[in-house]
């Protein structure tokens, strides 16, 4: 199925959930059955061809539904095909350093501003990311808090409302190959989950 066909298909659904950097597809496969397949469309975007193939094979074997698809494209290209205020949820688990590291901030801030524009009025952006010491030493509490505060300030400046911060953990059902590995080294790899909204929102969030 072509990129344009998939993107156009998901626009006919009431709810659109997109994972950027969807890897082998296990996250979307895990949560696909939580939704009414006639109401929600789950779209995974993965640039690595090998992982994209794995994700396609996974949904053939595990998910018997047409409301989940994967695309082998840069996610910036896919987002460009969506209108502003059209996506319910965007998920990013352990993005590549060029999309989150402080040194690349000038490059990725416009990308997250674009994500904000594409979200519906009360849409959610779930970001799970990690802090690793350059020398692979344990991360101190001071360094972690400085990094955490920088993340919160940066995304608030972009325009996101910080709805919930989860230290050293992730929401239920969130999983990936590297996330499972990183959880085994909690002293040297600090994980944080930021649930952000486009507007202030008191609704309960669930995947």
Query: φ and ψ at 87, to 5 degrees?
Result: -110, 135
Q: What is the pLDDT of residue 204?
A: 55
For each of the domains in the chain, give its residue range(s) and CATH number, in order of start.
Answer: 1-82 (3.40.50.150), 88-207 (3.40.50.150)
Q: Judging by DSSP bridges, how do beta strands 119-132 and 161-167 pair with one another?
A: unpaired
Q: Cα 60 vs. chain centroid, distance in angstroms?
A: 22
pLDDT mean by block of 10 residues, the chain; 207 residues: 75 93 92 88 95 91 78 92 94 94 94 96 95 85 96 96 90 80 85 88 54
Strand order in the sheet with 189-197: 68-71, 40-45, 15-20, 87-93, 119-132, 189-197, 161-167
Contacts of 157 (CB under 8 A, 6+ apart): none
Q: What is the pLDDT of residue 171?
A: 79
pTM of the model: 0.91
Q: What is the pLDDT of residue 23?
A: 93
Q: What is the pLDDT of residue 45?
A: 96
Q: What is the pLDDT of residue 192?
A: 95
Contact assessment for residue 104 and residue 68, using Cβ atoms and an 8 Å cutoff: no
């Amino acid at each position: 199925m072509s990129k344009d066909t998939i993107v156009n298909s998901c626009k006919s659904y009431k709810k659109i959930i997109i994972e950027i950097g969807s890897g082998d597809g296990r996250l979307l496969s895990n949560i696909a059955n939580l939704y009414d397949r006639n109401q929600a469309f789950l779209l995974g975007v993965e640039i690595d061809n090998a992982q994209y193939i794995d994700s396609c094979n996974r949904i053939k074997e595990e998910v018997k539904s047409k409301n989940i698809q994967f695309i082998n494209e840069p996610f910036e290209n896919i987002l460009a095909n969506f209108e502003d205020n059209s996506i319910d949820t965007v998920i990013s688990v352990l993005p590549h350093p060029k999309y989150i590291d402080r040194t690349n901030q000038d490059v990725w801030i416009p990308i997250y501003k674009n994500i904000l524009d594409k979200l519906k009025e009360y849409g959610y952006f779930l970001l799970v990311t990690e802090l690793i010491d350059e020398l692979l030493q344990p991360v101190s509490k001071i360094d972690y808090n400085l990094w955490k505060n920088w993340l919160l300030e940066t995304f608030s400046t972009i325009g996101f409302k910080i709805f919930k911060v989860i230290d050293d953990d992730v929401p239920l059902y969130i999983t990936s190959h590297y996330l499972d590995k990183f959880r085994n080294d909690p002293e040297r790899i600090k994980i944080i989950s930021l649930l952000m909204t486009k507007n202030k929102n008191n609704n309960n969030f669930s995947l």
